[in-house]
Amino acid sequence: MKNPFFAPAALVAFAALVTGCGAGSMKTSAFASDWQSDNGKSIAAVRAHLASVPVPTGRGMALGITKTGLIAVALDGSSHWSYSGVVDSRPSIAGNVVVSTSKGHLFALDAATGRELWQLPIADKHLRGAGDDGRTTVASLGSDAGGGGIVVAVNRSGAVVGKWAPTVDVGIPAVLSDIVFAPWGNQYVSALSLTTGDEAGRLLARTVVSRATAIGGSIYFGENTMLRFDDAISQAATTGGHEVKLAERELPGKPAWYPTGTRVLPPEAGAPDAIRFYARPAEVGDKLVLDSQRFAATYFRIIVGFNEGDGALRWVRTLPAEVIGGDAAAGGFAFCDVNGDVWLTAARSGGDAGHVSLGSKIEGCVVDGGDFKIAGGSDTGTLAEQITHAIELGDEQMATVQRFLLRELGTNDDPTITKTLLDLACNARTQPDVLAEARSLLASRRTGIEYMIDALKQHYDFLSDVLRAPPVGPLADALSAVGEKSAAPLLAAHLNDPSDTPDDVKRAAHALLTLATASEFDDVRTFFSLYRATADDDALVAAVIDAAKILVHLGGADGVEVIERAVNDPLTEPVVKQAISSLIPAKTSDVPHAATRAMSRR
Amino acid sequence: MLRRSLTAIHITLFSAFATLFVPAPDAAAKGAPPKEKATETSSAELAALDKALKGDEDSVVGALQSIDDGDKVAAAPLVAKLLGRGGTEKVLEAAMKTAQKLKVESLSVAIAPYTRHRSDEVRRQATRALLKTKGPIAVTTLEQALRSPDAVVRGTAASGLGELHAHAALPELFLAFDKGVPEAAAALGQLCVGAECDQFIGRTGRVGFDVMQTGFDQILFRPPSEVSDDAKIKLVGKLRELGTDEVGKYLSDVAERWPKDGSKRVKQVIDSAAHSVGGGVKQ
């Protein structure tokens, strides 16, 4: 596939590209900056002109970028090919061709076989993106630094059939019959005539437009909202035409549906490729919606599926390696990972719908769903189980999305969620951010009490490999909120466990104010005695003061005596002494009443 | 069951500690062993000490020093009550030292909760004190301390269980040893019987020799009533098989330290093994 035949037509085109004149060079009204809105008339005329022209769809394929070239696999696994030649920009899969740039040349390959269709020189330009209608390929090229762009249309024999060198940055173009759609200025799509080179019409959109792309037999314009090129296109500037967008979700890494089309993307994938939204517009009835009513977001190894309307989390899938590319197909998604595996995922359930392999590790990946249909999908458990699986990944890079998933998990009242959170909070390998989130959620849980009680029975135990104390503080908050008296002895035991943090001890003591019974008196008194003169931390001081209140409340005369002695003992921490002195009743005979009053003052 | 219920142990220790709050002035003294050095302490003196122990930090530390200096065993209940009330770190450390000096078993109950104090120093002092005050409470507490997050406490507890001949703690000591508590080696060597010693010796090669030899030492120098000559000879044979320089040096060292009235048979085997491995026995 290297050094292919360089068609004479391409030589002519090269002259055109370099000199800006001759065959294919068009001095036109295109991209005029003084254009006045025509209220959609001109673009409506273009639509009418193309109404009966079918938009070809690709067959569904994944293209891997390696250090030495390209490797491809059809999503149905039916074909596999490779191409030798280092690419210097992110390739585009456009219909049935693959387009990229390499060493000053723009080239196109047959997407089914990898056979080179044509190649032409482009000097120092690189590919921004390309479109194809089965006969003509259109490519937007630019320099790395931006500006200096050209749009070039090439037929299957390699002849340049159209070329524009606008002063504006043109995004990813599409082509249909004799019209090239060139998005620019974030709001315009110029419909350029391949016959005259003139602008046959222009779309003014209300949303950001940096790409034109063919999906499922229609052409769409957009970036974060996709506007369909159909009979309503004339209303784009007013009512918006037929458009589809994703429900707003604040997600880690701030994924985008598509990257801006006016930039040249490097061949190697970066973080923005690992953090992306995927969705496919589809028509249901006469409404433009998302295929399967789902959109997906990737965050390295974790993929989450959302409901179209409200953006509610529907499924989570965890892959073995970082996702660096993908696309939405009909009924599902295809995600490509760094190992060269392409994972097919059912859109509705997130279930595993099979996978194909590119055969080796890759640096970048481009996937085109085309008209490939993803069906089935294995049962991957409940949403809670899926989230749990994702959260249990011991991968530091995943901590941000794991926290997000934890918050989602926390909104579910299922008692087993409490167990999941406890497992995380008790696991010594859980990362600090995830641990903090799990603890925070546990404090507000009101279900799964039995799991909380079981967790409180645990203490740090070197011999039994219990190397992290349970989340005593959050459990104390939760159990006191539901008035779970059976937690009292367990919380009291934790007061005297040095493995628990001072904050946990503080919260345990506070919970005991409402939960403790006479059975906890001894533990509380021991705690008070050990720390009334050694508490060197605000949280511990607060715990000691609460312990004093409990002693007065539960211990009657004995409790008051302990506190009285502490108040009169020069060794008691002054701050403790000051706080507990008010707990002593005025007269010994009034003790029970005074103790009650002391408790009611809390 | 190997793993004892932490909650059960906790209840035992802390309930016992709670008894310190019940006035029982003679209770602590009951566990005091007869001590030649112990001096008579008058009730006036005890009353003065009691008063001083309720004073400020200097007063309390001074009183504890006085109990130390005079080896006033009769004041043990006062020390127990002080620990029951609690105090500053300085006071607690002084009280632990006093308890170590008095060696009164009944102080163990007052010391036990402090092995789980948040202050490293208090916790460690308390664990060390239990080695001196001894008794069942000390043993139970030290067993519990093997589970501590504090490596120093774990090590002290392991050593202490050996010193206190707590044979029942052997399973926990094996567990601790396998989890990297080196001090458990000596304790295992002190406590093992028959197959248990074989179990310990079986760890040779998996654990550094410098750690293992602390246990071997204990086994080899224990009286024949506890470890038979045959068992010792078997151990020496096992060491001889290792054949390393450090084994040779160790066996030579054992040969030098071998008691004059110790088993001649075992000595002969040690000498022979040391020669064979190349440790160079000094005659």
How far, in whole angstroms, is CA B69 from its chain's centroid?
24
Angle A51-A56-A61 from CA coordinates, rounded to 5°: 155
Phi and psi, residue A407, nearest 5°? -65, -40
Are the C-beta atoms of A500 and A536 separated by less than 8 Å?
no
Are the C-beta atoms of B255 and B271 separated by less than 8 Å?
yes
Identify the closest residue of chain B to A461 by CA–CA distance. Answer: B147
Which is more confidently placed, B62 or A27? B62
Reduced DSSP (H G I as helix, E B as strand, rest coil) percent helix, strand, coil of chain B, to 5: 70, 0, 30
Please report residues of A whose CB lies closer than 8 A to that of B89.
Answer: 534
Which is more confidently placed, A372 or B34? A372
| pLDDT higher than 60, residue A62 | yes
Closest by Cβ to A526, choosing from B18, B60, B118: B18
CB proximity B6 to A under 8 Å: yes
Are the C-beta atoms of B117 and A497 separated by less than 8 Å?
no
- State the Cα–Cα distance between residues A248 and A308, nearest whole angstrom: 10
Closest by Cβ to A523, choosing from B14, B86, B119: B14
| pLDDT higher than 90, residue A243 | yes
What is the predicted pLDDT for the residue at B16?
56
In the stretch 552-581 of chain A, residues with CB closer than 8 A to chain B read 558, 562, 565, 569-571
Q: Is A200 left (phi over 0), alpha (psi -120 to 50) or beta?
A: alpha
Q: What is the mean pLDDT of residues A356-375?
A: 97
Among residues A477, A517, A538, A468, which one has the least CA distance to residue A497? A468
What is the predicted pLDDT for the residue at A11?
38
SS3 A203: strand
Least confident of A24-38, A530-544, B171-185: A24-38
Please report residues of B whose CB lies closer than 8 A to that of A533.
Answer: 86-88, 91
Across the interface, whether the CB atoms of A571 and B14 are under 8 A apart is answered no
CB proximity A501 to B under 8 Å: no
CB proximity A491 to B under 8 Å: no
| pLDDT higher than 50, residue A312 | yes
CA distances from A126 to A1, A84, A89, B2 (A): 20, 18, 6, 70
Please report residues of B whose CB lies closer than 8 A to that of A562.
Answer: 21
- Around Cβ A444, how many Cβ atoms within 10 Å? 11
Q: What is the mean pLDDT of residues A451-468?
A: 96
Q: What is the pLDDT of residues A183-221, one digit of tens each?
A: 999 999 999 999 999 999 999 999 999 999 999 999 999
Mutation for testing the A interface, residue in B3, B6, B12 having most A CBs under 10 Å = B6
Angle A4-A7-A13 from CA coordinates, rounded to 5°: 120
CB proximity B216 to A under 8 Å: no
Among residues A205, A136, A143, A193, which one has the least CA distance to residue A164? A193
| pLDDT higher than 60, residue A25 | no
ipTM of the prediction: 0.88
What is the predicted pLDDT for the residue at B104?
96
What is the predicted pLDDT for the residue at A408?
86
Which is more confidently placed, A332 or B204? A332
Closest by Cβ to A526, choosing from B17, B54, B179: B17
Among residues A224, A215, A285, A288, which one has the least CA distance to residue A255? A224
CA distances from B178 to A360, A459, B194, B205, B260 (A): 43, 21, 19, 13, 35
Closest chain A C-alpha to B9 CA, distance in angstroms: 11
The single residue listed with the structure tokens 């273009």 is: A46
Least confident of A18-27, A553-562, B234-243: A18-27
SS3 B206: coil
Q: What is the pLDDT along chain B (283 residues), one digit of tens a residue?
A: 334 444 455 545 555 565 555 444 344 444 555 444 555 778 899 999 999 999 999 999 999 999 999 889 999 999 999 999 999 999 999 999 999 999 999 999 999 999 999 999 999 999 999 999 999 999 999 999 999 999 999 999 999 999 999 999 999 999 999 999 999 999 999 999 999 999 999 998 889 999 999 999 999 999 999 999 999 999 999 999 988 999 999 999 999 999 999 999 999 999 999 998 875 544 4
Across the interface, whether the CB atoms of B56 and A570 are under 8 A apart is answered yes
| pTM of the shown model | 0.74
Angle B130-B133-B138 from CA coordinates, rounded to 5°: 45
Closest by Cβ to B86, choosing from A463, A523, A532: A532
CB proximity B153 to A under 8 Å: no
In the stretch 399-458 of chain A, residues with CB closer than 8 A to chain B read 457
- Around Cβ A382, how many Cβ atoms within 10 Å? 13
Q: What is the pLDDT of residues A215-225, one digit of tens each?
A: 999 999 999 99
What is the predicted pLDDT for the residue at A413?
87
Q: pLDDT confidence of A282, banded at 50, 70, 90?
A: very high
Among residues A540, A497, A533, which one has the least CA distance to residue B90? A533
What is the predicted pLDDT for the residue at A596?
44
| pLDDT higher than 70, residue A15 | no
Identify the closest residue of chain B to A467 by CA–CA distance. Answer: B149
Percent of chain A with pLDDT over 90: 80
Q: Specify which residues A98 forms β-bridges with.
A: A93, A109
Output the DSSP codes for B15-63. Answer: HHHHGGGS--TTTGGGGPPP-SSPPP--HHHHHHHHHHTTS-HHHHHHH
CB proximity B4 to A under 8 Å: no
b/e B46-63 (16+ beta carbons within 10 angstroms → b): beebbebbbeebebbbbb
Among residues B129, B107, B126, which one has the least CA distance to residue B116? B126
Are the C-beta atoms of A131 and A120 separated by less than 8 Å?
no
Handedness of CA B79, B84, B87, B93 (dihedral sign): positive
DSSP state of A266: P
How far, in whole angstroms, is CA A478 from its chain's centroid?
31
| pLDDT higher than 60, residue A401 | yes
Among residues A287, A187, A191, which one has the least CA distance to residue A243? A287
- State the Cα–Cα distance between residues A542 and A116, nearest whole angstrom: 76
Output the DSSP codes for B163-179. Answer: HTT-GGGHHHHHHHHHT
- State the Cα–Cα distance between residues B279 and B248, nearest whole angstrom: 4
Could you give the count of Cα atoms lying within 13 Å of A435 in the half-sphere of its Cβ?
15
Angle A43-A46-A52 from CA coordinates, rounded to 5°: 135
Q: pLDDT confidence of A595, banded at 50, 70, 90?
A: very low
Q: What is the pLDDT of residues A140-177, one digit of tens each?
A: 999 877 677 999 999 999 999 999 999 999 999 999 99
What is the predicted pLDDT for the residue at A427?
87
Least confident of A26-40, A443-457, A564-578: A26-40
- State the Cα–Cα distance between residues A227 and A207, nearest whole angstrom: 9
> The tokens of A400 are what?
């941000």
> The tokens of A324 are what?
């660096």
Among residues A117, A118, A114, A116, which one has the least CA distance to residue A80? A114
- State the Cα–Cα distance between residues A272 and A257, nearest whole angstrom: 10
What is the predicted pLDDT for the residue at B152?
98
Are the C-beta atoms of A179 and A194 separated by less than 8 Å?
yes
Mutation for testing the B interface, residue in A454, A458, A530, A558 having most B CBs under 10 Å = A530
CB proximity A532 to B under 8 Å: yes
- State the Cα–Cα distance between residues A519 and B75, nearest whole angstrom: 31
What is the predicted pLDDT for the residue at A239?
77
CB proximity A276 to B under 8 Å: no
Output the DSSP codes for A226-262. Answer: EEE-STTGGGTTTT--SEEEPPP---TT--BSS--TT
- State the Cα–Cα distance between residues B57 and B281, nearest whole angstrom: 57
Across the interface, whether the CB atoms of B114 and A457 are under 8 A apart is answered no
Output the DSSP codes for A462-515. Answer: GGGTB-S---HHHHHHHHHHTT-GGGHHHHHHHHT-TTS-HHHHHHHHHHHHHH
Which is more confidently placed, B120 or A9? B120
**HEC readout, A46-114:** HHHHHCCCCCCCCCCEEEEECCCEEEEEECCCCCEEEEECCCCCCCEEECCEEEEEECCEEEEEECCCC
What is the predicted pLDDT for the residue at B36?
44
